[in-house]
């Protein structure tokens, strides 16, 4: 990647606590005006990484550059970065307008300028009508927007958000994901968001880094990570995967439990090496009696039918793995084919829709 377009560069940043490494040589380039997500399971080091960017923790090794300058020696209040905490920490006795203005008043900006900037942000965050209310007169989503407005009004170079939607229920969360993306886009500020929710990261971010055990496993756009995971961990963590463990056979073949699966040619493939073949649920097809045109076919039995509204997931037991495969079919297909538990079906997929993983 061209590092000149990067606002923030992390160069082999590590953080140890005693004998434990919370963050292990993380290198990332975060671009101008990007919505970047740090994603990973609990304890993978996301928050520690964010706190190092904000200046609340000091790296044990490595450097952090903002616009080309090493910011490691700067205390939090001297960094043009703003961290929005998980708890919104609004002042309960102040109105929405006052909460938002507070940071600018602390900077002693002229009153007229404060008023103008606060009005702008109120409008962007769709809070103008609520400007005179106190936090306890707002809904969870509205309080969240105030917290965001309060961070945005300071026009940080980069806004850091730790699980910004963590306190909201599912429905509101989904609405606010799009809202957050819109606010990022309209403000033109680079956002770095920590989340453990892969769906949220897929929906919101331009690019994301998946972390595990303090290390970056993979970094890329949501579709790159979903379509081309580089490891079993990423394949399992992002979306739903069907994973078949096997050994690489002759050219473009992987042997899985005595079945020969056809895969795409891969440079450097070593015959006999242990690999996993991954196929996403929407890439599996339910085949009719004749078997269709698929490169790979397998017989199975439906063990569960899980209705999700738009889609239905069929859980299908096959000889390829101990775990049933998950096949996603549009629920509208039910008009034509009735699927039920105990039914025998034949599944198929094209070699180009499978990925072979060596890690």
By CB under 6 A, name the binding residues for ligand ATP: 17, 22, 40, 42-48, 196
Distance (Å, whole) CA 62 – CA 223: 30
- Beta-bridged to residue 355, according to DSSP, are 278
Residue 48 in contact with residue 57, Cβ under 8 Å? Answer: yes
What are the structure tokens assigned to 145, written together? 């927007």
**Considering the complex, what minimum distance in angstroms separates the CB of residue 175 from ligand ATP?**
23
Q: Which is nearer to ligand ATP, 131 or 167 (CB)?
A: 167
Nearer to ligand ATP, 209 or 263 (CB): 209
| Beta carbon nearer to ligand ATP, 34 or 163 | 163
Smallest gap from residue 47 Cβ to ligand ATP (A): 3
Instruction: Report in angstroms how near the CB of residue 159 gets to ligand ATP at its nearest.
Output: 18
Judged by CB, which is closer to ligand ATP: 162, or 277? 162
Pick 40 or 246: Cβ nearer ligand ATP: 40
User: Nearest approach, Cβ of 38 to ligand ATP (angstroms)?
Assistant: 8
Task: Name which of 267, 319, 272, 273 is nearest 297 in CA terms.
Answer: 319
CB of 195 to ligand ATP, least distance (A): 9
């Amino acid at each position: 990647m061209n590092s000149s377009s990067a606002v923030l560069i992390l160069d082999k940043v590590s953080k140890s606590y005693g004998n434990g490494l919370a963050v292990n040589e993380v290198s990332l380039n975060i671009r101008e005006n990007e919505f970047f997500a740090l994603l990973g399971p609990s304890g993978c080091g996301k928050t520690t990484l964010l706190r190092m960017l904000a200046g609340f923790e000091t790296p044990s090794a490595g450097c952090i550059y903002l616009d080309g300058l090493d910011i490691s020696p700067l205390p939090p209040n001297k960094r043009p970065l703003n961290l929005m905490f998980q708890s919104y920490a609004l002042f309960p006795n102040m109105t929405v307008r006052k909460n938002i203005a507070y940071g600018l008043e602390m900077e002693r900006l002229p009153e007229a300028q404060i008023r103008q900037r606060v009005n702008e942000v109120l409008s962007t965050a769709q809070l103008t009508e609520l400007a005179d209310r106190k936090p306890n007169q707002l809904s969870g989503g509205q309080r969240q927007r105030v917290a965001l407005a309060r961070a945005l009004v300071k026009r940080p170079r980069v806004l850091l958000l730790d699980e910004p939607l963590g306190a909201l229920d599912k429905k509101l969360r989904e609405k606010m994901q799009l809202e957050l993306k819109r606010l990022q886009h309209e403000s033109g500020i680079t956002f770095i968001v920590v989340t453990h929710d892969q769906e949220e990261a897929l929906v919101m971010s331009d690019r994301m880094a998946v972390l595990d055990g303090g290390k970056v496993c993979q970094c890329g756009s949501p579709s790159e990570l979903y379509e081309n995971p580089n490891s079993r961990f990423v394949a399992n963590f992002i979306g739903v995967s069907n994973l078949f463990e096997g050994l690489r056979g002759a050219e473009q073949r992987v042997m899985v439990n005595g079945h020969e699966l056809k895969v795409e040619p891969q440079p450097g493939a070593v015959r006999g090496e242990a690999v996993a073949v991954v196929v996403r649920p929407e890439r599996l097809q339910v085949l009719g009696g004749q078997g269709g045109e698929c490169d790979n076919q397998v017989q199975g039995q439906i063990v569960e039918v899980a209705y999700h509204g738009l889609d239905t997931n069929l859980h299908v037991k096959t000889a390829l793995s101990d775990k049933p495969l998950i096949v996603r079919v549009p629920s509208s297909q039910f008009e034509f084919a009735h699927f039920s538990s105990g039914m025998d079906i034949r599944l198929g997929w094209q070699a180009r829709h499978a990925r072979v993983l060596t890690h």
